[in-house]
Each structure stands twice: as structure tokens, then as C-alpha cells.
């Protein structure tokens, strides 16, 4: 395509169909400038094929940027399986999908996403080598929330350093919205570092977990109470769109750093955050620990090596926040620029385009 593989559009989009199993999938490869495209498979009941296509185009592009900033030798891709996983998911469907992944000859590696799980990757792996996020028993990295939380913690420390001069979160009040897989591990790291955690979740089991394991955590009723609480850092760890026209004006935190994907509800939100003096550590930068964990499987999973890579999210976040200051742009824009720079510079060397 062009000199800038980071922004030159998608390289390849593959429509897959297997009538017998009911498989309808789309694999989007945005870029292989840095290496094979890696990104999960989302299994979701899209309203239409157009909606599935729009999602896979958007998500595969996002993965290229995430993988570039995670320092991985991997490009960006993503896949969607269109349908209700509860109705459709079967061994034959997953294996049919695995054969399509295999047919791309390693241009695309898949992994888990919404609607797909470690056990599904094990099934897909019976048809293709190009799959990560398998179970530990099958040589996989297992649950990626472990290093996702570790990376979010590192990104938060870098943001804290940028605002307060020290990366330590000792004595800071950190609001964790969502005590799921990532939120729980993150809470552990924060408590270990001496932070005061304020948290919320819609699931009573998650609240019970907090009461049992971290009795020092303050629980509040809902996300709006958390946002309005006297917190220093806000960590969205539930669903997307956490930063919106309702939450941003109410937010009292100086720093936002959390695991949730697509935290910015719409583009103008970045400016609203900046105007309120809130430092936003871009979601796709700080939540890259999960992809770092599963990507490590390609080399034969080594937890310590993967953890070291996730620890570097501290340095990357610091670099992005400094670049944002230097160039007078929001951190999300600085992050995009850095990702595009790496895709263009290293992609040029690989001479793929
Ligand atoms: P999860 O499903 O285990 O946890 C989400 C938690 O949020 C659940 O406990 C749920 O009850 C809670 N929740 C849902 N709606 C809520 C609301 N309105 N208010 C408060 N709590 C609410 O998911 P997980 O794996 O912990 O992921 C959390 C976020 O991080 C998601 O946005 C995910 O896409 C993102 N992420 C996760 C990665 C991973 O490796 N698990 C990697 C990168 C991003
Ligand atoms: K591209």
C-alpha cells in the first residue's frame, strides 16, 4: 500500500462460511507491517453482516495500534463470528473456523475475545497452529487477566508519576469500577502498594469477593457514586464508554487509568478531560498486558518473560504522556502517533508493503 502502513487501511478482509455448522465469520487483517496479525475472535449476535463487518474493521485496526505500542513483533487483526454463541457454538463450527485461520498460512493468529474462551481456543487449535490463548494444559498462557491487571497497574504508576512526581500509589484513593477478572487482580496490586481502594460492581458475588479478600476496600453503590467520590485515580474495569458526558463532568479524579476497552464514549471526550485537568492514560496502551501474555505463547509460553514485557507498559505510558506534553496533544493522540511511527519505521524495514 503506502509508506505508512499504520494508516493505509486494511490489508485483507476474509469472509468465511460453512453452511453445515452455521459458521459465518469475517477475519480482518489491518496490518502485518510488524509481523503476523494478532487479535481475538469475537462471537456475537450482530444485527447484520454490515454491523459485523464494521466491528471487525474497527477492532482489527485497534489491535495494530495496541500491538505496536506493546512492543510486539505482531501486526493487527481481529475476527468476528456472527451469531449467538449459546445457540451456535459447536465443535464443528469452531473447527471449521480453525481451518479458515489455518488457510491464511500464519498471516493471522487468533485468541479469545467477547464470547470465546480458553476452551474454544483449544478446539480451534486442533485445526490450526495459528491460535493463542489456549489452556495451560495445552501449552497456552491461560487467563490473560493476570498480566492485563499488572500492565494497568504499571500504566497507572506512570500516570501517577506524571501528575504527582512519584509513581507510588501509597495513600492515593483509587476507584475501581468493575471487580471482575482484571479488577480483582488490580485491586490486589493496589492494596499491596498501599493505595486506598474504593470499588463497585453490579454483581453481588464480586462485592462478596471484596469483603472476604480485601476488607479494607470501601464499596460504593454504583459507578456514578464512584465517579463522584473523593478519588485520586479512576480505573474503569467494566464495560466500554466509561468516560462520557455524564461521568466526565462529575469526575473528581486527576488520573484515569483502567482496563476497559474503548473508554472514550466519543471523540470530544478527550478535550473535556483535558479541560478538567484530568490525565487519561489511553486504554489500549495500559490494557495491553493481556495481548502480551497470549502473544508470548507463539514463542512457547514463559510467564516471567511475558511479565517483564507487561512491566514495560510503565515506560511506554511515560513516553506517551511526555510526548503529549511536548506536542500539545491529548495522550490518546500521542499514543496513536507513536504507534504509527513504529509501524512505518519498522514496517519499512520489513518491506512487506
Ligand atoms: P469481567 O467480565 O471478568 O469483569 C467485568 C466486571 O464488571 C464484572 O464483575 C461485572 O459484574 C462488572 N460490571 C459490569 N457492568 C458494570 C457496571 N455497570 N458497573 C459496575 N460493574 C459492572 O471482564 P474482565 O476480563 O475483568 O475485563 C474487564 C474489562 O477489561 C473489559 O472491558 C475488557 O474488555 C477489558 N480487557 C480485558 C482484558 C483481559 O485480559 N481480561 C484485556 C484487555 C481489556
Ligand atoms: K495498514
Task: Show me where the domains of the chain are located.
Answer: 12-66+74-138, 145-288+317-334
Q: What percent of the chain has pLDDT over 90?
A: 93
CA 31 to centroid of ligand 2, rounded, Å: 4
Judged against a pLDDT cut of 90, whether residue 292 lies above it is answered with yes
CA 63 to centroid of ligand 2, rounded, Å: 11
From residue 290, alpha-carbon distances to 213, 306, 313 in Å are 23, 10, 12
Average pLDDT value for residue range 158-167? 98
So what's the pLDDT on residue 300? 93
Judged against a pLDDT cut of 80, whether residue 69 lies above it is answered with yes
Average pLDDT value for residue range 59-77? 97
Tell me the average pLDDT of the chain: 95
Enclosing H/E stretch for 200: strand 196-200
**Residues that place a CB less than 5 A from ion ligand 2:** 5, 8, 31
So what's the pLDDT on residue 349? 81
Q: What is the pLDDT of residues 193-203, one digit of tens each?
A: 999 999 999 99
* Other Cβ atoms within 10 Å of 239 Cβ, number: 14
Q: Which atom of ligand 1 is nearest to the CA of 259?
A: 30
Average pLDDT value for residue range 309-322? 98
Three cell numbers written together for 223: 459507578
Write the burial class of residue 162 (CB in 10 Å: 0-12 exposed, 13-18 middle, 19+ buried): buried
What do you get for the CA distance between the two ends of the chain, in Å? 6
Nearest CA to ligand 1 atom 32: 260
Write the burial class of residue 68 (CB in 10 Å: 0-12 exposed, 13-18 middle, 19+ buried): buried
Average pLDDT value for residue range 35-61? 96
Average pLDDT value for residue range 132-154? 95
188-225 in b/e burial notation, b at 16+ Cβ within 10 A?
bbbbebebbbbbbbeeeebbebbeeebeebebbeebee
Q: Which atom of ligand 1 is nearest to the CA of 288?
A: 43
Asked whether the beta carbons of 243 and 268 are under 8 A apart, the reply is no
So what's the pLDDT on residue 1? 36
Q: Which candidate, 146, 198, 192, places its Cα nearest to that of 169? A: 192
Q: Which fold is adopted by the domain 145-288+317-334?
A: Rossmann fold (3.40.50)
Judged against a pLDDT cut of 80, whether residue 2 lies above it is answered with no
Average pLDDT value for residue range 312-333? 97
Average pLDDT value for residue range 138-147? 92
Ligand nearest to the CA of 155: 1
Q: What is the pLDDT of residues 118-128, one digit of tens each?
A: 999 999 999 99
CA 287 to centroid of ligand 1, rounded, Å: 12
* Other Cβ atoms within 10 Å of 165 Cβ, number: 7
Three cell numbers written together for 285: 496502551
The residues annotated as belonging to the active site are 78
Greatest mean pLDDT among 117-121, 266-270, 345-349 lies in 117-121
Q: Identify the CATH number of the domain defined by range 12-66+74-138.
A: 3.40.50.10860
Judged against a pLDDT cut of 90, whether residue 213 lies above it is answered with yes
Judged against a pLDDT cut of 90, whether residue 294 lies above it is answered with yes
- Residue 239: pLDDT band with limits 50, 70, 90: confident
**Cα gap 326→328, rounded to integer Å:** 6
Average pLDDT value for residue range 193-214? 98
So what's the pLDDT on residue 352? 52
Average pLDDT value for residue range 6-27? 91
From residue 230, alpha-carbon distances to 164, 225, 292 in Å are 17, 10, 33
**Lowest model confidence (mean pLDDT) among 19-33, 119-133, 251-265, 339-353:** 339-353
- Residue 305: pLDDT band with limits 50, 70, 90: very high
- Is 145-288+317-334 in the same CATH topology as 12-66+74-138? yes
Q: Among all chains, which residue has been given the C-alpha cell 504508576?
A: 157
**Lowest model confidence (mean pLDDT) among 75-84, 234-243, 266-275, 344-353:** 344-353
Judged against a pLDDT cut of 90, whether residue 143 lies above it is answered with no
So what's the pLDDT on residue 350? 75
Amino acid at each position: 500500500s503506502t509508506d505508512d502502513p499504520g494508516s493505509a487501511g486494511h490489508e485483507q478482509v476474509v469472509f468465511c462460511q460453512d453452511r453445515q455448522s452455521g459458521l459465518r465469520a469475517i477475519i480482518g487483517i489491518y496490518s502485518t507491517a510488524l509481523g503476523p496479525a494478532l487479535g481475538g475472535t469475537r462471537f456475537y449476535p450482530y444485527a447484520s453482516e454490515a454491523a459485523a463487518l464494521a466491528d471487525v474493521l474497527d477492532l482489527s485496526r485497534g489491535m495494530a495500534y495496541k500491538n505496536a505500542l506493546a512492543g510486539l513483533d505482531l501486526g493487527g487483526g481481529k475476527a468476528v463470528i456472527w451469531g449467538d454463541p449459546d445457540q451456535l457454538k459447536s465443535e464443528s463450527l469452531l473447527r471449521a473456523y480453525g481451518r479458515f485461520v489455518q488457510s491464511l498460512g500464519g498471516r493471522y493468529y487468533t485468541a479469545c475475545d467477547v464470547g470465546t474462551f480458553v476452551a474454544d481456543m483449544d478446539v480451534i487449535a486442533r485445526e490450526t497452529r495459528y491460535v493463542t490463548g489456549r489452556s495451560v494444559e495445552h501449552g497456552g498462557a491461560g487467563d490473560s487477566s493476570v498480566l492485563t491487571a499488572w500492565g494497568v497497574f504499571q500504566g497507572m504508576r506512570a500516570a501517577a508519576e506524571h501528575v504527582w512526581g512519584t509513581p507510588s500509589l501509597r495513600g492515593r484513593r483509587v476507584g475501581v469500577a468493575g471487580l471482575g477478572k482484571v479488577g480483582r487482580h488490580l485491586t490486589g496490586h493496589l492494596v499491596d502498594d498501599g493505595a486506598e481502594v474504593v470499588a463497585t460492581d453490579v454483581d453481588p458475588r464480586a462485592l462478596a469477593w471484596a469483603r472476604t479478600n480485601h476488607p479494607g476496600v470501601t464499596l460504593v453503590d454504583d459507578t456514578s457514586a464512584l465517579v463522584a467520590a473523593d478519588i485520586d485515580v479512576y480505573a474503569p474495569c467494566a464495560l466500554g464508554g466509561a468516560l462520557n458526558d455524564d461521568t466526565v463532568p462529575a469526575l473528581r479524579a486527576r488520573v484515569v487509568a483502567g482496563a476497559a476497552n474503548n473508554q472514550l464514549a466519543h471523540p470530544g471526550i478527550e478535550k473535556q478531560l483535558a479541560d478538567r485537568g484530568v490525565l487519561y492514560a489511553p486504554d489500549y496502551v495500559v490494557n495491553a498486558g493481556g495481548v502480551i501474555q497470549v502473544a508470548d505463547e507463539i514463542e512457547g509460553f514463559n510467564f516471567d518473560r511475558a511479565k517483564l514485557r507487561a512491566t514495560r507498559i510503565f515506560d511506554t505510558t511515560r513516553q506517551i504522556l511526555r510526548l503529549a506534553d511536548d506536542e500539545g496533544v491529548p495522550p490518546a493522540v500521542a499514543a496513536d502517533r507513536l504507534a504509527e511511527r513504529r509501524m512505518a519505521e519498522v514496517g519499512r524495514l520489513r518491506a512487506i508493503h
